[in-house]
Amino acid sequence: MTLKLWLLFAATEFLLSMTPGPSVLLVVSQGMKFNTRSSLRGTLGILSGNAVYFILSAAGLGTLLLASAQLFQVIKWAGAGYLIVVGIRMLLATSDRAEPYAMESAAKRSRKLFSQGLITQLSNPKAIIFFAALLPQFITTESNVVWQFFILGVTSIALEFPVLLAYGWLAERGRRWLPKGRFAALPDRLAGIFLIGTGIGLATIRKV
């Protein structure tokens, strides 16, 4: 891999991570609902999903996943449905009814937030297309392929992690500007809307 190819990948990855999409919406919903630390769980889930796709791409399985239209649709709709259901539960929760996360331990809640990030990224058609079709364009046959995938993977995490963390931090800060009192549940409602938007975003992405 040449330096020019690596810089091109870094620029592409940075722009993609900055663009509002399912992953960004998920992190924003978690930061708004809880705090930056909680959104970090979702961020780690998203990056873990990226790691899975890096491994699949390095093993040559990403192309098979992209070529299977039925499997592509199943993955997409499963992830979209899950996020929409969670978002609706948050949106409809009332003060006199246990909210989806209220009675859970911190450890269990962390696992759920991580799972949301992992499921969101694994079911994101854009991620599948990126890792299966676009990523190999940055790999050259003159060098060790596995080593190149490793370099790109580290680069991807190093660039995307602070971006997603910043979105979670901004979401938490934005929550403080929301009205209190009888509008105290507004952050929960907005977080639910963002999650539903994440699911709809996944569902409406078409395979190219």
Query: Measured between alpha carbons, how far is 113 from 90 in angstroms, rounded to an integer?
Result: 14
For residue 63, being part of any structural domain is answered with yes
pLDDT at 116 over 80: yes
Give the Cα separation of 140 and 168 in Å (integer): 36
In a domain, 53, yes or no: yes
> 2-6, 43-47, 76-80 — which is least confidently predicted?
76-80
What residues contact 164, with CB distance under 8 A and at least 6 apart? 17, 23, 24, 27, 39, 42, 43, 46, 47
Distance CA 81, CA 58 (A): 29
**Rounded Cα distance, 27 and 40, in Å:** 8
Angle between helix 186-204 and helix 106-122 axes, rounded to 10 deg? 30
CA-to-CA separations, 76 to 29, 83, 133, in angstroms, rounded: 20, 11, 17
Q: Dmax over Cα atoms in the chain, in whole Å?
A: 64
6-10, 42-46, 189-193: the lowest-pLDDT one: 189-193
For residue 17, is it within any domain? no
96, pLDDT greater than 50: no
Sole residue written with tokens 């769980």:
41
The residue range of the domain holding 108 is: 3-7+23-204
Residue 111, in any domain of the structure: yes
Q: Most confidently modeled of 25-39, 40-54, 184-198?
A: 40-54
The answer as to whether 14 is a domain residue is no
Distances (CA, A) of 192 to 74, 122, 173: 23, 20, 18
Cα–Cα distance, 91 to 198 (Å, whole number): 14
Q: Is residue 15 part of a domain?
A: no
Which carries the bigger pLDDT value, residue 91 or residue 5? Answer: 5
Reported confidence tier of residue 97, pLDDT bands at 50, 70, 90: very low
Average confidence score pLDDT of the chain: 79
Lookup: tokens for 55: 């491994």
Could you tell me if 161 and 51 are in contact, meaning their C-beta atoms sit under 8 angstroms apart? no
Range picked from 6-10, 93-97, 172-176 for highest mean pLDDT: 6-10
Percent of the chain with pLDDT over 90: 13
pLDDT bin (cut points 50, 70, 90) of residue 169 is: very high
Cβ proximity of 171 and 32 under 8 Å: yes
pTM, 2 dp: 0.77
Q: At 43, is the pLDDT very low, low, confident or very high (cuts 50, 70, 90)? A: very high
Query: Rounded to whole angstroms, what are the CA distances from 162 to 14, 17, 24, 166?
Result: 10, 10, 12, 6
* Least confident residue range of 48-62, 80-94, 137-151: 80-94
Q: Lowest mean pLDDT of 74-83, 102-111, 122-131, name the range.
A: 102-111
What local confidence, expressed as pLDDT, does residue 118 receive? 92
Structural domain tally of the chain? 1
pLDDT range class, residue 196, cuts 50, 70, 90: confident
Q: Is the pLDDT of residue 98 over 50?
A: no
| Residue 18 placed within a domain | no
Question: Is the pLDDT confidence value at 136 over 90?
Answer: no
Q: Is residue 16 included in any domain, yes or no? A: no
